Structure 1
């Protein structure tokens, strides 16, 4: 069954309460208990509701069909990876083939990239409305829950914008983005698409408000004030507001207390639950997820589906420096070729269960370096230093060099591969890449030249949404 925004809200509104639904709205992580029927009335209830938001970032189940959709659990990472030039689908028929070949259309596109963010947004709105009604004591715990809910709502809207909207810098946000939903809607609501610019304004407003509420305390698996600032750096980078991206990235790098994992621990950190540069991870529970073979660990692992491998171009790029520690991530694929980037080796020997690195400090170093060169008054010294820190961690023999945009782009590719960034890095600044040669199996009808001028780089709005809501217009050319 195709799920629309309307049916999401209808599902949340059925039964005796908004707060206890078939979608396990208030499912805790890692448990499965629910807030008692009918109310979010205490600070502890707000904490339980927030836990449900984090679980929902991984996946959500459609209560009308009992179908589960993986979000950060799989699809939000795999699409931008195999849609770029560093990772490809291994062979015809593998699970990521549609994303690799850009064959998603309005009638067959993955529901996860549309459905799950709007489930999250509605969950956040229910919690925020309960707090804003003033019936819950406004303690530090309640304020923090409010801040976390605003941050997650912002993240969900931002991810929708970069999935279904034209990159901001192509037309300064003038084209259509997605519906921005900031209140609990009833099942008859017909929200319309706002412009990309309006969407970014809503995202940045939520993040700004979150900063005034959320704590700096580090609770693993939760976003804190530093995580919000890191997300502000990312959003402003995509928007082309480089002065703001620079300011937020610099603040996080220099004052947050997070530190880069040393070279000697880089490889092993991927199989650990937590590390010193984890600004915001999603903490998967082996109890809850150990049986889900659709999570990214199984999609990548040669012992399971083994569907994603490095391209020849990327292997050549990484091998430019034979002493680069990141070469140690390469393992053999199903065919015995050393081309799997093993960032999802599994926790405690279970390849299915991997904590998802939503925001790492290394990303913020590279955002800061890029923004430093692109901002109104460039800061070459900071760009040089931040680029050096990432290159030096990769190979302690690397010395400081003069940073350029091209060098920073190259380092982003090496450092952030398989973390869900590459396609968006290409699109956000209007770059073009060619996906051909090597082991690619694309044909003349596939998207080989990737840039923001091809309509297929923006996902189609699900047709069920168009049919149910006359206010929604489809993306051009679909």
Structure 2
């Protein structure tokens, strides 16, 4: 009897491959795929080149929209939710009641929807990637597709598998530097599809790999992707929304930064960043846009965008999850505001163009302003803003940080920092020279400060808090204290005066068990191994 693969059940991370018109979850609510197609029997899914291509598209579909715990599309894991949840874990935004308060105030439980949905949809994505990897290998063996095309498709799937495992690590595990050799518990690194009863059993008993083992496997996947992905695609949108050689290298600079492996950040960064300004890339033709808002004004249409997740009018996270409606003032819902902690920070110059081009207040002719909101995502009506996973500016700042950590005051590091910063700081007197820095650490601090400004509302702050938590010089000490929206007035936002108001959402020390999320109850109920390996105290 043929087994028709039409459903993906994300409960317990036991997810079966779906290549079909709808992605159906246990609640029976449905939403359409990016590319609608027919449902195939599993053994037929990789029998023609077209079906193989559709299967690969399905992996991107799973990255854009798994299902929230109520079965709806809220952009989990990478359509929007990774950005929203990571930002809400940090102090540079404010959760405007009520969507993100659990994340913002770190009042998680083992059955909290935010953590549960991230875990389940990330592993659903991983499983779909694993099904495709196995499927394209079989298709190549049967001469359905060429060996080279099979390797490209596998590279795309392994790129997304690596991205998903890293997202799991920064939420559910302590950072790489927590123990010598990173021997502490990471997450289960899953490389086999769960598509037989035997594999279901194996999945439901798999334990946690060490953090080191997870990072080694992430790099193995990304190295394979780099070796087998094309440098670009002919379609303008595909070269941003599908994995490329440059995207694999770019993500590796991020991974090595989390490992504190500065030499490898430099090695990878040098593959796609020229030695001198204006720092154009020979791989993927990446370059900074002349204006700090161009990558957002043109959605994903500039050479600054390296990899983004597509949202479109037919498949998006809607009013309850879309990145535009969450971050934007009316007609968006404005549920994530910019915090006065970062808005008033002395290192963020009052004349920085990002204050006017990429942020605005919610004042109108009839309503007084209550806060400042991001203006990076500009389609709160039809929710088509792409979710930027990595931009070229991040690669430049990753490389700048690594250079400044390994050398004396490094002129190339300064030039990389200035390349990003000076397109927003046009007053020459406010632009950095080497004389502004007395020590290498002061340059590192400037780079870290720049990251907070440049990537505000892009979901990067938690990643930096996480990786720096064990840094002897630059640690935040844990989760910083935050501002409660109820305790602010519009006067709280003042670019000329550091914020001195109340931070009533108290800081959480790194040693506190709440620094990491618990493995969800939906997983530990069915996996006795992970139940015994739950993060302490949860």
TM over 0.5: yes
1:388, distance to aligned residue in structure 2 (A): 1.0
1:228-377 correspondence to structure 2 within 5 Å: 228-254=248-274, 255-256=282-283, 257-263=285-291, 266=293, 269-270=296-297, 272-289=299-316, 291-303=318-330, 304-317=332-345, 320-328=348-356, 329-333=358-362, 336-346=369-379, 350=381, 352-375=383-406, 377=407
Unaligned runs of 5+ in 1: none
Contact 1:124 1:153 in 2 (8 A): yes
Distance 1:351 1:371, change over 3 A: farther
Write the mapping of 1:388-399 to structure 2, written as runs, cut at 5 A. Answer: 388-398=418-428, 399=431
Ranges in structure 2 where 5+ consecutive residues have no aligned partner:
1-7, 26-30, 234-238, 275-281, 438-442, 470-474, 489-501
Quick check: 2:254–2:398 contact (8 Å CA) kept in 1?
yes
- Which shifted more, 417-426 or 253-262? 253-262
Offset of 1:183 from its aligned partner?
0.9
Secondary structure of the structure 1 residue equivalent to 2:200: coil
- Paired residues of 1:301 and 1:351 also in contact (CA < 8 A): no
* Aligned residue in 2 for 1:46: 52
**C-alpha distance after superposition, 1:372-430 (max 9, x if no partner):** 1223x567122111011011111233444236111001100010011111022012022
- State how far apart, in whole Å, the 1-side matches of 2:288 and 2:56 are: 28
Q: Distance in 2 between matches of 1:390 and 1:226?
A: 19
Aligned length: 462
**Residue deviations 1:149-205 (CA, integer Å, cap 9, x gap):** 111111111111111110111214221111111012322222111111111111111
Query: Of 196, 200, 221, which aligns to 1:206?
Result: 221
C-alpha displacement of 1:242:
1.1
Q: Which has the larger radius of gyration?
A: 2
Superposed CA deviations along residues 106-136 of structure 1, whole A, max 9, x for unmatched, are 0224222101111111111111111233234
Partner residue, 1:383: 413
State whether residues 125 and 184 of structure 1, in contact with CA within 8 Å, keep that contact through their aligned partners in structure 2: yes
Classify 1:410/1:138 alpha carbon distance in 2 versus 1 (closer, same or farther; 3 Å).
Answer: same
The aligned counterpart of 1:477 is: 537
Q: Distance in 1 between matches of 2:336 and 2:66?
A: 23
CA shift at 1:251, angstroms? 2.0
C-alpha spacing 1:212/1:24, structure 2 compared with 1 (3 Å): farther
SS in 2 for 1:286: coil
Select the residue among 191, 195, 204 that pairs with 2:210.
195
Distance 1:408 1:116 in 2: 33
Contact kept? 2:95, 2:485, Cα under 8 Å: no
Q: Say yes or no: does 1:102 pair with 2:109.
A: no
Q: CA RMSD in A?
A: 2.9
* Structure 1 pair 438–121 and aligned structure 2 pair: CA distance change class (3 A): closer
**1:464 corresponding residue in structure 2:** 522
**TM-score between the two structures when normalised by the length of structure 2:** 0.79
Structure 1 residue ranges, 4+ long, deviating more than 6 angstroms after superposition: 3-6
Query: Which residues in structure 2 correspond to 1:11-90 (within 5 Å)?
Result: 12=16, 19=19, 23=23, 30-34=34-38, 36-37=40-41, 38-61=44-67, 66-69=71-74, 70-90=76-96
Alpha-carbon spacing, 1:127–1:267, altered in 2? closer, same or farther (3 Å): closer
203-212 vs 326-335, which moves further: 326-335
TM-score normalised per structure 1? 0.88
Asked whether the equivalents of residues 23 and 33 of structure 2 are also in contact (C-alpha less than 8 Å), the reply is no
Q: Cα offset for 1:214?
A: 0.9
Kept in 2, the 8 Å contact 1:147–1:211? The answer is yes
